[in-house]
């Protein structure tokens, strides 16, 4: 007995195209790219050697145990970023490679402004794991949005828990930073619309990314294994960075409480977020020094605290981050 013929609509349905990972680099290109992070590290060290030398000299008399605690908070920052990255994606990622990619992303983040380095490394990693481009870009957008939104309840908790230890007005950007923040809020969406209108080939990928993002957000928030690390990591991330500042300030015997030191970081990072600098270096440093001084900390100690914070969050993880990036390139994970 012969089987019945297939329905026309069934026969005409095309098979779903398999998702292919990003094309691996050639051996020569992979070798060159694996050396590039180390060259960037060497150039960074040559360019900023004076600040590094001054920071090490001033931190020589600090409490080493509190500095070690600050280094521990720095390591936890990469784990929190890995949790957010996994929570923003329905696909299951290998935990070890994911954490290593965030160390590499942290190193790249200090080279390009506004987190572009970290997002570029993460995007390449996700594509090498076979994640479709639309879903990978949607997860990066969700990562950025959740980190920005999650800081609000953290600030509110500080305001309610220690209303006399914090200064809410410190959260508002001042002067040029305020103008840049307003300009960014107004010009950013307008620039995106103009780019899509002027470059038609970008419209379809952009719409696909938006549709994928909306679909994935609904799916992720029905799975506790995704939305718990997504939001938990996003809430923990600013607290971890604040813990680094508080640890360095305590190591230097800064005359401020932990609540004041932590809120000083939250205020400074909020005010400096409108200025697109590599890793926040520059605007965040200046805002943090001014905020600590506004709480009554001596200016030399406030400056040393910021140097110590930079030593732990930039210089300390930069070498393992660049090594992780080179190793992942060699293993074709990037």
Strand partners, 113: 278
Mean residue pLDDT across the chain: 74
| Low-confidence winner among 77-91, 116-130, 226-240 (lowest mean pLDDT) | 116-130
**What integer pLDDT is reported at residue 235 of this predicted model?**
92
Q: What angle do CA 183, 292, 314 make, to 5 degrees?
A: 75
> CA-CA distance, 216 to 286, in Å (whole number)?
38
> CA-CA distance, 68 to 79, in Å (whole number)?
17
Segment 100-119 shows an average pLDDT of 76
**What integer pLDDT is reported at residue 240 of this predicted model?**
93
Instruction: Using CB atoms within 10 Å of the CB of residue 4, give its burial: 0 to 12 exposed, 13 to 18 middle, 19+ buried.
Output: exposed
Q: What six digits make up the tokens of 167? A: 């200064």
> CA-CA distance, 312 to 197, in Å (whole number)?
44
Can you tell me which residue has the tokens 């784990």? Answer: 79
From 131, 119, 30, 56, select the one nearest 312 (Cα to Cα).
56
Are 291 and 235 a contacting pair, CB within 8 Å? no
Q: 152-190, pLDDT tens digit by residue?
A: 888 888 777 765 655 555 555 555 555 555 555 555 566
pLDDT score of 14 more than 70: no
For the chain, percent of residues with pLDDT exceeding 90: 13
Helices vs strands, H then E, count in the chain: 14, 0
From 204, 207, 230, 234, select the one nearest 217 (Cα to Cα).
230
Burial profile 97-127: b = 16 or more Cβ within 10 angstroms, e = fewer: bbbbbbbbbbbbbbbbbbbebbbbbbbbbbb
Q: 19-76, pLDDT tens digit by residue?
A: 555 555 555 555 454 444 445 545 555 555 565 566 566 677 778 899 899 999 999 9
**What integer pLDDT is reported at residue 42 of this predicted model?**
55
Query: Which of the pair, 79 or 56, is modelled with greater confidence?
Result: 79
> CA-CA distance, 217 to 140, in Å (whole number)?
12
As a three-state string, the secondary structure of 79-142 is HHHHHHHHHCCCCCCCHHHHHHHHHHHHHHHCCCECCHHHHHHHHHHHHHCCCCHHHHHHHHHH
Within a 10 A sphere around the Cβ of 11, how many other Cβ atoms? 8
Segment 125-144 shows an average pLDDT of 87
> CA-CA distance, 70 to 64, in Å (whole number)?
10
Segment 137-150 shows an average pLDDT of 87
Query: Which of the pair, 175 or 301, is modelled with greater confidence?
Result: 301
Within a 10 A sphere around the Cβ of 72, how many other Cβ atoms? 15
The pTM score is 0.71
Burial profile 36-64: b = 16 or more Cβ within 10 angstroms, e = fewer: ebeebbeebeeeeeebbeebeebbeebee
pLDDT score of 11 more than 50: no
Segment 244-264 shows an average pLDDT of 87
Segment 296-321 shows an average pLDDT of 82
> CA-CA distance, 300 to 268, in Å (whole number)?
18
pLDDT score of 116 more than 90: no
pLDDT score of 15 more than 50: no
């Amino acid at each position: 007995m012969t089987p019945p013929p297939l329905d026309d609509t069934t026969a005409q349905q095309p098979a779903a195209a398999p998702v292919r990972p990003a094309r691996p680099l050639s051996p020569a290109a992979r070798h060159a790219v694996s050396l590039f992070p180390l060259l960037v590290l060497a150039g960074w060290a040559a360019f900023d050697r004076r600040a590094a030398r001054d920071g090490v000299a001033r931190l020589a008399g600090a409490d080493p145990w509190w500095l070690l605690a600050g280094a521990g908070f720095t390591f936890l920052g990469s784990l929190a970023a890995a949790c957010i990255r996994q929570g923003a994606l329905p696909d299951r990622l290998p935990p070890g490679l994911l954490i290593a990619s965030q160390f590499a992303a942290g190193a790249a983040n200090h080279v390009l402004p506004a987190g572009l380095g970290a997002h570029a490394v993460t995007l390449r990693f996700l594509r090498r794991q076979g994640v479709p481009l639309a879903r990978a870009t949607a997860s990066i957008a969700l990562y950025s949005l959740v980190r920005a939104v999650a800081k609000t309840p953290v600030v509110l908790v500080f305001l309610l828990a220690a209303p006399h230890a914090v200064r809410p007005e410190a959260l508002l950007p001042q002067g040029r930073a305020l103008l840049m923040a307003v300009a960014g809020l107004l010009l950013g969406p307008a620039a995106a619309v103009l780019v899509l209108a002027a470059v038609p080939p970008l419209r379809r990928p952009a719409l696909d990314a938006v549709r994928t993002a909306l679909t994935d957000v609904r799916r992720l928030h029905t799975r506790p294994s995704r939305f718990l690390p997504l939001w938990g990591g996003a809430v923990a991330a600013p607290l971890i960075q604040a813990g680094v500042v508080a640890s360095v300030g305590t190591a230097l015997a800064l005359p401020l409480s932990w609540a004041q030191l932590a809120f000083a970081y939250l205020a400074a990072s909020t005010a400096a977020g409108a200025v697109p600098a590599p890793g926040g270096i520059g605007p965040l440093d200046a805002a943090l020094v001014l905020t600590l001084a506004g709480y009554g900390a001596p200016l030399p100690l406030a400056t040393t605290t910021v140097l110590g914070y930079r030593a732990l969050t930039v210089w300390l993880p930069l070498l393992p981050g660049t090594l992780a990036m080179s190793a992942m390139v060699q293993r074709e994970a990037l």
